[in-house]
Amino acid sequence: MRVLVTGATSLLGQTVARQLIERGTDVAVLQRGPSGLDAKEHLGDITDPAVVARAVTGADAVVHVAARVAVVGPWKDFQRINVNGTRIVLEAARAAGASRFVQVSSPSVAHSGMSLVGASAAPADPGGARGHYARSKALAEQAVLAAPDMAVLAVRPHLVWGPGDTQLIGRIVERARRGRLAVVGSGMALIDTTYIDNAADAIIAALDKAPDLSGRALVISNGEPRPVRELFDRIATAAAVESSRLKVPAAVAWLGGALAERVWNCTGRTGDPPMTSFMAEQLSTAHWFDQRETRQLLGWTPAVPLDEGFRRLTAWYQADC
Protein backbone atom coordinates (compact mmCIF):
# COMPACT_ATOMS: atom_id res chain seq x y z
CA MET A 1 0.00 0.00 0.00
CA ARG A 2 1.27 3.47 -0.92
CA VAL A 3 0.36 6.17 1.60
CA LEU A 4 0.48 9.95 1.24
CA VAL A 5 1.02 11.81 4.51
CA THR A 6 0.34 15.55 4.49
CA GLY A 7 1.97 17.93 6.96
CA ALA A 8 5.09 15.81 7.42
CA THR A 9 7.16 18.62 8.96
CA SER A 10 4.88 18.78 11.99
CA LEU A 11 5.79 16.61 14.97
CA LEU A 12 2.77 14.36 14.47
CA GLY A 13 2.95 14.19 10.66
CA GLN A 14 6.64 13.40 10.70
CA THR A 15 6.23 10.70 13.35
CA VAL A 16 3.38 9.05 11.43
CA ALA A 17 5.38 9.07 8.20
CA ARG A 18 8.52 7.76 9.91
CA GLN A 19 6.68 4.91 11.58
CA LEU A 20 5.06 3.93 8.28
CA ILE A 21 8.46 3.97 6.58
CA GLU A 22 9.96 1.84 9.36
CA ARG A 23 7.34 -0.84 8.84
CA GLY A 24 8.10 -0.96 5.11
CA THR A 25 5.21 1.08 3.72
CA ASP A 26 5.72 3.02 0.48
CA VAL A 27 5.32 6.61 1.73
CA ALA A 28 5.03 9.95 -0.03
CA VAL A 29 4.77 13.23 1.88
CA LEU A 30 3.38 16.66 1.08
CA GLN A 31 4.24 19.83 2.97
CA ARG A 32 5.63 23.30 2.31
CA GLY A 33 9.24 22.63 3.36
CA PRO A 34 11.66 19.68 3.31
CA SER A 35 10.84 16.96 5.82
CA GLY A 36 14.18 15.15 5.90
CA LEU A 37 12.37 11.82 5.60
CA ASP A 38 13.35 8.93 3.37
CA ALA A 39 10.18 9.27 1.31
CA LYS A 40 9.06 10.69 -2.01
CA GLU A 41 8.63 14.34 -1.22
CA HIS A 42 6.22 16.88 -2.68
CA LEU A 43 6.66 20.51 -1.70
CA GLY A 44 3.72 22.85 -1.83
CA ASP A 45 0.50 24.02 -0.23
CA ILE A 46 -2.54 21.79 0.30
CA THR A 47 -4.69 24.60 -1.08
CA ASP A 48 -3.02 24.24 -4.50
CA PRO A 49 -5.04 21.63 -6.44
CA ALA A 50 -2.26 20.98 -8.95
CA VAL A 51 0.33 20.29 -6.23
CA VAL A 52 -2.09 18.05 -4.35
CA ALA A 53 -3.06 16.13 -7.51
CA ARG A 54 0.60 15.33 -8.23
CA ALA A 55 1.26 14.28 -4.65
CA VAL A 56 -1.70 11.92 -4.42
CA THR A 57 -1.09 10.21 -7.77
CA GLY A 58 -0.69 6.49 -7.19
CA ALA A 59 -1.64 6.65 -3.51
CA ASP A 60 -3.87 3.95 -2.08
CA ALA A 61 -4.46 5.89 1.12
CA VAL A 62 -4.06 9.37 2.60
CA VAL A 63 -3.31 10.41 6.17
CA HIS A 64 -4.21 14.09 6.31
CA VAL A 65 -2.33 15.83 9.11
CA ALA A 66 -1.62 19.26 7.58
CA ALA A 67 -3.56 22.08 9.24
CA ARG A 68 -3.37 25.62 10.49
CA VAL A 69 -2.94 25.28 14.26
CA ALA A 70 -3.15 28.63 16.04
CA VAL A 71 -5.03 30.20 18.91
CA VAL A 72 -5.86 33.45 17.10
CA GLY A 73 -6.06 34.77 13.55
CA PRO A 74 -8.65 35.68 10.93
CA TRP A 75 -11.29 33.13 10.03
CA LYS A 76 -10.37 33.26 6.35
CA ASP A 77 -6.95 31.73 7.11
CA PHE A 78 -8.44 28.79 9.01
CA GLN A 79 -11.10 28.32 6.35
CA ARG A 80 -8.59 28.38 3.49
CA ILE A 81 -6.28 25.76 4.98
CA ASN A 82 -8.35 23.60 7.32
CA VAL A 83 -11.65 23.58 5.42
CA ASN A 84 -10.85 24.27 1.77
CA GLY A 85 -7.46 22.55 1.92
CA THR A 86 -8.97 19.40 3.38
CA ARG A 87 -11.64 19.33 0.68
CA ILE A 88 -8.97 19.72 -2.02
CA VAL A 89 -6.93 16.82 -0.61
CA LEU A 90 -10.07 14.70 -0.20
CA GLU A 91 -11.31 15.28 -3.75
CA ALA A 92 -7.86 14.68 -5.22
CA ALA A 93 -7.61 11.41 -3.30
CA ARG A 94 -10.98 10.26 -4.63
CA ALA A 95 -10.05 11.27 -8.18
CA ALA A 96 -6.77 9.35 -7.90
CA GLY A 97 -8.56 6.21 -6.78
CA ALA A 98 -7.35 6.14 -3.17
CA SER A 99 -9.50 3.80 -1.12
CA ARG A 100 -8.73 5.04 2.41
CA PHE A 101 -8.63 8.50 3.99
CA VAL A 102 -7.73 9.19 7.64
CA GLN A 103 -8.48 12.71 8.80
CA VAL A 104 -6.44 13.84 11.79
CA SER A 105 -8.97 15.93 13.65
CA SER A 106 -9.29 17.31 17.19
CA PRO A 107 -11.52 16.69 20.21
CA SER A 108 -12.24 20.43 20.14
CA VAL A 109 -14.61 19.84 17.18
CA ALA A 110 -17.22 18.61 19.67
CA HIS A 111 -16.31 20.69 22.74
CA SER A 112 -18.77 23.42 23.70
CA GLY A 113 -16.87 24.58 26.80
CA MET A 114 -18.38 22.25 29.39
CA SER A 115 -16.36 19.69 31.33
CA LEU A 116 -15.84 16.36 29.58
CA VAL A 117 -15.56 13.50 32.05
CA GLY A 118 -15.09 10.04 30.58
CA ALA A 119 -16.68 11.33 27.39
CA SER A 120 -17.06 9.56 24.06
CA ALA A 121 -16.48 11.01 20.60
CA ALA A 122 -19.56 13.17 20.03
CA PRO A 123 -20.35 14.33 16.47
CA ALA A 124 -18.42 17.33 15.19
CA ASP A 125 -20.40 20.51 15.81
CA PRO A 126 -19.18 23.60 13.91
CA GLY A 127 -21.89 25.74 15.50
CA GLY A 128 -20.88 24.91 19.06
CA ALA A 129 -17.12 24.63 18.56
CA ARG A 130 -15.06 27.23 20.43
CA GLY A 131 -12.85 29.36 18.23
CA HIS A 132 -11.79 29.44 14.60
CA TYR A 133 -9.48 26.42 14.81
CA ALA A 134 -12.11 24.14 16.35
CA ARG A 135 -14.84 25.32 14.00
CA SER A 136 -12.68 24.86 10.90
CA LYS A 137 -11.61 21.38 11.98
CA ALA A 138 -15.25 20.47 12.65
CA LEU A 139 -16.25 21.52 9.13
CA ALA A 140 -13.31 19.59 7.68
CA GLU A 141 -14.19 16.45 9.63
CA GLN A 142 -17.81 16.61 8.47
CA ALA A 143 -16.69 16.88 4.85
CA VAL A 144 -14.40 13.85 5.18
CA LEU A 145 -16.90 11.62 6.95
CA ALA A 146 -19.55 12.41 4.31
CA ALA A 147 -17.28 11.43 1.39
CA PRO A 148 -18.61 8.54 -0.72
CA ASP A 149 -16.67 5.71 -2.36
CA MET A 150 -13.85 5.68 0.22
CA ALA A 151 -13.19 4.22 3.64
CA VAL A 152 -13.02 7.41 5.74
CA LEU A 153 -12.14 7.76 9.41
CA ALA A 154 -11.52 10.74 11.70
CA VAL A 155 -8.99 10.37 14.50
CA ARG A 156 -8.93 13.03 17.22
CA PRO A 157 -5.67 12.86 19.21
CA HIS A 158 -6.02 14.80 22.45
CA LEU A 159 -3.20 17.22 23.33
CA VAL A 160 -0.30 15.48 21.62
CA TRP A 161 3.14 16.13 23.11
CA GLY A 162 6.67 14.78 23.19
CA PRO A 163 10.31 15.74 22.64
CA GLY A 164 10.58 18.49 20.05
CA ASP A 165 6.97 19.63 20.45
CA THR A 166 6.66 23.37 19.82
CA GLN A 167 2.90 23.56 20.36
CA LEU A 168 1.95 22.34 23.85
CA ILE A 169 5.35 21.72 25.46
CA GLY A 170 7.16 24.60 23.80
CA ARG A 171 4.53 27.15 24.78
CA ILE A 172 4.32 25.97 28.39
CA VAL A 173 8.11 25.94 28.84
CA GLU A 174 8.54 29.37 27.26
CA ARG A 175 5.91 30.91 29.51
CA ALA A 176 7.41 29.24 32.56
CA ARG A 177 10.84 30.65 31.68
CA ARG A 178 9.35 34.15 31.50
CA GLY A 179 7.43 33.68 34.74
CA ARG A 180 4.11 33.97 32.91
CA LEU A 181 2.74 30.44 33.23
CA ALA A 182 -0.55 30.76 35.10
CA VAL A 183 -2.73 28.13 36.72
CA VAL A 184 -6.33 28.96 35.88
CA GLY A 185 -8.83 28.22 38.62
CA SER A 186 -7.85 25.53 41.12
CA GLY A 187 -5.44 23.73 38.79
CA MET A 188 -7.14 20.47 39.72
CA ALA A 189 -9.16 19.93 36.54
CA LEU A 190 -8.32 16.51 35.12
CA ILE A 191 -6.91 16.59 31.60
CA ASP A 192 -5.76 13.70 29.45
CA THR A 193 -2.92 14.00 26.94
CA THR A 194 -1.35 11.81 24.26
CA TYR A 195 2.34 10.99 23.97
CA ILE A 196 3.51 11.47 20.38
CA ASP A 197 4.45 7.84 19.65
CA ASN A 198 1.08 6.65 20.93
CA ALA A 199 -0.77 9.16 18.75
CA ALA A 200 1.13 8.03 15.64
CA ASP A 201 0.55 4.36 16.48
CA ALA A 202 -3.18 4.98 16.81
CA ILE A 203 -3.37 6.86 13.50
CA ILE A 204 -1.61 4.00 11.71
CA ALA A 205 -3.96 1.52 13.39
CA ALA A 206 -6.85 3.65 12.11
CA LEU A 207 -5.38 3.49 8.61
CA ASP A 208 -5.28 -0.30 8.82
CA LYS A 209 -8.81 -0.55 10.22
CA ALA A 210 -10.44 2.14 8.04
CA PRO A 211 -12.42 -0.29 5.81
CA ASP A 212 -14.09 -1.76 8.92
CA LEU A 213 -14.69 1.55 10.70
CA SER A 214 -15.59 3.89 7.84
CA GLY A 215 -17.58 6.93 8.90
CA ARG A 216 -16.45 6.80 12.53
CA ALA A 217 -14.73 9.45 14.63
CA LEU A 218 -12.47 8.27 17.47
CA VAL A 219 -10.77 10.25 20.23
CA ILE A 220 -7.23 9.11 21.06
CA SER A 221 -5.42 9.67 24.35
CA ASN A 222 -3.04 8.03 26.80
CA GLY A 223 -6.00 7.34 29.06
CA GLU A 224 -4.13 8.74 32.08
CA PRO A 225 -5.84 12.00 33.09
CA ARG A 226 -3.87 14.24 35.46
CA PRO A 227 -4.57 17.61 37.15
CA VAL A 228 -3.46 20.62 35.11
CA ARG A 229 -1.08 21.75 37.85
CA GLU A 230 0.64 18.35 37.90
CA LEU A 231 1.12 18.45 34.12
CA PHE A 232 2.59 21.98 34.33
CA ASP A 233 4.94 20.91 37.12
CA ARG A 234 6.16 17.81 35.30
CA ILE A 235 6.74 19.66 32.03
CA ALA A 236 8.62 22.42 33.85
CA THR A 237 10.72 19.86 35.76
CA ALA A 238 11.60 18.07 32.52
CA ALA A 239 12.83 21.36 31.06
CA ALA A 240 14.59 22.37 34.31
CA VAL A 241 12.58 25.56 34.71
CA GLU A 242 10.50 26.83 37.61
CA SER A 243 6.86 25.86 37.38
CA SER A 244 3.88 28.15 37.68
CA ARG A 245 3.50 30.36 40.73
CA LEU A 246 0.67 32.45 39.26
CA LYS A 247 -2.99 31.70 39.96
CA VAL A 248 -5.84 33.39 38.09
CA PRO A 249 -9.55 32.87 38.79
CA ALA A 250 -11.26 31.13 35.87
CA ALA A 251 -13.73 33.97 35.25
CA VAL A 252 -10.95 36.56 35.21
CA ALA A 253 -8.88 34.44 32.82
CA TRP A 254 -11.86 34.00 30.49
CA LEU A 255 -12.64 37.72 30.37
CA GLY A 256 -8.99 38.63 29.93
CA GLY A 257 -8.64 36.04 27.18
CA ALA A 258 -11.69 37.33 25.33
CA LEU A 259 -10.28 40.86 25.47
CA ALA A 260 -6.85 39.70 24.27
CA GLU A 261 -8.44 37.90 21.32
CA ARG A 262 -10.18 41.10 20.24
CA VAL A 263 -7.00 43.12 20.52
CA TRP A 264 -4.93 40.56 18.57
CA ASN A 265 -7.58 40.17 15.85
CA CYS A 266 -8.21 43.90 15.48
CA THR A 267 -4.54 44.88 15.37
CA GLY A 268 -3.30 41.92 13.35
CA ARG A 269 -0.69 41.02 15.95
CA THR A 270 1.32 37.85 15.40
CA GLY A 271 2.29 35.38 18.08
CA ASP A 272 0.18 34.05 20.90
CA PRO A 273 -1.72 36.34 23.27
CA PRO A 274 -1.15 35.71 26.99
CA MET A 275 -4.60 34.11 27.24
CA THR A 276 -7.69 33.38 25.14
CA SER A 277 -11.19 32.46 26.25
CA PHE A 278 -10.71 28.97 24.81
CA MET A 279 -7.42 28.51 26.68
CA ALA A 280 -9.09 29.63 29.91
CA GLU A 281 -11.82 27.03 29.42
CA GLN A 282 -9.33 24.31 28.58
CA LEU A 283 -7.21 25.02 31.66
CA SER A 284 -10.10 25.24 34.12
CA THR A 285 -12.43 22.43 33.01
CA ALA A 286 -11.92 18.69 32.92
CA HIS A 287 -11.56 17.02 29.55
CA TRP A 288 -10.75 13.34 29.43
CA PHE A 289 -12.23 10.52 27.41
CA ASP A 290 -13.30 6.91 27.84
CA GLN A 291 -10.79 4.97 25.72
CA ARG A 292 -12.22 1.46 26.03
CA GLU A 293 -14.19 1.42 22.77
CA THR A 294 -11.44 3.19 20.83
CA ARG A 295 -8.83 0.65 21.91
CA GLN A 296 -11.11 -2.26 21.14
CA LEU A 297 -12.02 -0.98 17.68
CA LEU A 298 -8.44 -0.16 16.70
CA GLY A 299 -6.80 -3.11 18.41
CA TRP A 300 -4.44 -0.56 19.93
CA THR A 301 -3.13 0.39 23.35
CA PRO A 302 -0.63 3.14 24.20
CA ALA A 303 2.88 1.70 24.29
CA VAL A 304 4.39 4.67 26.16
CA PRO A 305 2.88 5.43 29.59
CA LEU A 306 2.81 9.01 30.84
CA ASP A 307 5.71 8.49 33.27
CA GLU A 308 7.92 7.08 30.52
CA GLY A 309 6.94 9.97 28.26
CA PHE A 310 8.12 12.48 30.84
CA ARG A 311 11.34 10.52 31.31
CA ARG A 312 11.97 10.79 27.57
CA LEU A 313 11.11 14.49 27.59
CA THR A 314 13.59 15.09 30.42
CA ALA A 315 16.31 13.18 28.56
CA TRP A 316 15.64 15.24 25.42
CA TYR A 317 16.00 18.55 27.27
CA GLN A 318 19.17 17.33 28.99
CA ALA A 319 20.68 16.27 25.66
CA ASP A 320 19.75 19.66 24.18
CA CYS A 321 21.62 21.60 26.91
Sequence-ordered list of residues with C-beta below 8 angstroms from that of 110, at least 6 positions apart, any chain: 121, 122, 123, 124, 125, 128, 129, 138
- For the chain, give every domain's residue range: 2-161+194-221+289-303
- Asked if pLDDT for residue 274 goes beyond 70, the answer is no
pLDDT at 304 over 70: yes
Give pLDDT, residue 285.
79
Burial per residue of 52-71, b for 16 or more beta-carbon CB atoms within 10 angstroms, e otherwise = bbebbbebbbbbbbbbbeeb
- 164 versus 252: which is more confidently predicted? 164
Q: Could you give the angle at the alpha carbon of 310 between the alpha carbons of 308 and 313, nearest 5°? A: 115
pLDDT of 270 above 70: no
Taking only the tens place, the pLDDT of each residue in 148-170 is: 989 999 999 999 999 999 888 98
Q: Tell me what the mean pLDDT of segment 220-235 comes to.
A: 93
Taking all residues of the chain, what is their mean pLDDT, rounded to a whole number? 90
Residue 195 annotated to the active site: no
Q: Predicted confidence band at 254 (pLDDT cuts at 50, 70, 90)?
A: low
pLDDT of residue 81: 96
The model's pTM is: 0.92
* CA–CA gap between residue 103 and residue 86 (Å, rounded): 9
CATH of segment(s) 2-161+194-221+289-303: 3.40.50.720
* Residues 87-100: tens digit of each pLDDT: 999 999 999 999 99
- Binned at pLDDT 50, 70 and 90, residue 53 comes out as very high
Active-site hit among 37, 93, 111, 133: 133
Q: What is the mean pLDDT of residues 134-147?
A: 95
Contact between 126 and 138 (Cβ < 8 Å): yes
pLDDT category at 56 given cuts 50, 70, 90 is: very high
